[in-house]
Amino acid sequence: MTPPVIRPVILCGGSGTRLWPMSRTHYPKQFLRLADEFSLLQNTLRRLDGLPGLAGTIAVANENHRFLVAEQLLEIGLRADILLEPAARNTAPAVAAAALHALGKANTPVPPLLLVLPSDHVITNVAALQAAIRAAIPHASSGSLVTFGVVPDRPETGYGYIRRGPPVAGGYALDRFVEKPNATTAQAYLDSGDYYWNSGMFMFRADCYLDALDRFAPGIHESVATALADASHDLDFLRLDHTAFSSSPSDSIDYAVMEKTDRGVVIPLDAGWNDIGAWDALATLGLADRNGNTERGDVHSVDTENCVLLSEGRLLTTVGVRNLIVVATPDAVLVADKSKAQDVKTLVAELKLGARGEIEFRHIVHRPWGSYEGLANGPRYQVKRILVKPGASLSLQKHHHRAEHWVVVKGTAVIARGDESLLLSENQSTYIPLGVVHRLENPGKIDLEIVEVQSGSYLGEDDIVRLEDSYGR
């Protein structure tokens, strides 16, 4: 029998504020490389390799992250249909958009199965994950709505739970979802053996999910259908209509459908699942050394135990400390008691009230054409390292408050400056006076790197007047 078509639906939203300062609003945790050399997003798709019937991936992403999603997938040799959410409306509308899109693209008489996966989890036992997915396929193919329940190994109070019902092949009928319990209730759940952690992972036929929405949450189906019908293509992305999508109720799949359906199935998942909800979770991934320390980057510790120590660039050293989280990035340092890892979210909220830019962007800011990194700044000056990918170009622009000096340190640059066109190679430079229209382009086959020195009365990123832009900004 031909296996059913399975379309992975990767939910790329989420902010990961508890993983600050590495996770930022414009570079959240799903794009971080925490467990190995691949990002959490990349590993979400890599561990599906070998499953039967896999077809094109659908990624549902925040508009601000669209180029990050595309670039990280290309790094592992994948392309995806990337749907852009114009507003955050939780998982039920996001998956509705994916379901409608999948049905519109289906070229088989049998509707495709959607394998819905968050993009920011760690699963260490790939074989066990794939076995659970295979166990779910017959149920989803016959019209059931399947969720994957993580087998608990402790009385966790930070997760919602799923209670199982009577056994079915490879799993159980879904009895009910329950909210995050207190410690006593969590222990009772663990002792009973009838409860699983809610993983946020699902499998169902695209048409069956939409039928369930029609029955239980018709407003979501109607709004998202209009948003997709009125969507516009933006390069390789599909931008959902803002007005229609924003009018959708904001609900999770659990609340909108799974808590109400009588066709739910839960498949147990015992595969080393971890949602990396805070820095202390890294200590549970088997990465700790003999002193209980989890270290990444340029770290040297002496008489240090049970700490999470991460550095991006600078040397991080500790002496005689216990049970700490220390995370150092080029623009911020976090020091926290390990038992207070969840409270990093509170810290970020306070920084946001103070309009601190460190919660928005990492020191390396990614753009569709490449990236830039702040090297130094002071009164009336700022120095950046700019990287432009081969064949890419910045927008045609000008500034009202700053002038710029550019020095090419690697590659070749084509520069439009007023009516001039300049071709600069390594160790050559130019000057862009205030108010002059200009553009930077990389015509070569290798990355272009320049050092930019800005000077002027105002150096904010919003002092950019774009006249032409290949990326629709």
**pLDDT one-digit tens code per residue, 46-101:** 999 999 999 999 999 998 898 899 989 999 999 999 999 999 999 999 999 999 99
pLDDT value, residue 99: 97
Most confident of 136-140, 309-313, 465-469: 136-140
**Is pLDDT at 107 greater than 80 in this prediction?**
no
**Where in the chain is CATH 2.60.120.10?**
364-468
Predicted pLDDT of residue 241: 96
* Residue 360 pLDDT > 70: yes
Q: What is the pLDDT of residues 280-291, one digit of tens each?
A: 998 888 789 999
Integer Cα distance of 141 and 359 in angstroms: 43
pLDDT surpassing 90 at residue 105: no
Average pLDDT over residues 144-171: 95
Is residue 109 very low, low, confident or very high in pLDDT (cuts 50, 70, 90)? confident
pLDDT in tens, 386-440: 999 999 999 999 999 999 999 999 999 999 999 999 999 999 999 999 999 999 9
CATH of domain 364-468: 2.60.120.10
Query: Who's near 115: CB < 8 A, 6+ residues apart?
Result: 6, 7, 8, 9, 48, 133, 201, 202, 203
**Cα separations (Å) of 277 from 4, 158, 283, 374?**
33, 9, 12, 29
At residue 275, what is the residue type? D
Q: For residue 192, what pLDDT is reported?
A: 96
Tell me what percent of the residues of the chain surpass a pLDDT of 70.
Answer: 99
Q: Give the pLDDT of residue 473.
A: 65
Per-residue pLDDT tens digits for 177-217? 999 999 999 999 999 999 999 999 999 999 999 999 999 99
The model's pTM is 0.87
CATH architecture for the domain at 6-274: Alpha-Beta Complex (3.90)
The ranges of the chain annotated as CATH 3.90.550.10 are: 6-274
Contacts of 235 (CB under 8 A, 6+ apart): 471, 472
Residue of 72, 142, 133, 62 whose CA lies nearest to 110: 142
pLDDT above 90: residue 266: yes
Both tokens of 222, joined, read: 């109607």
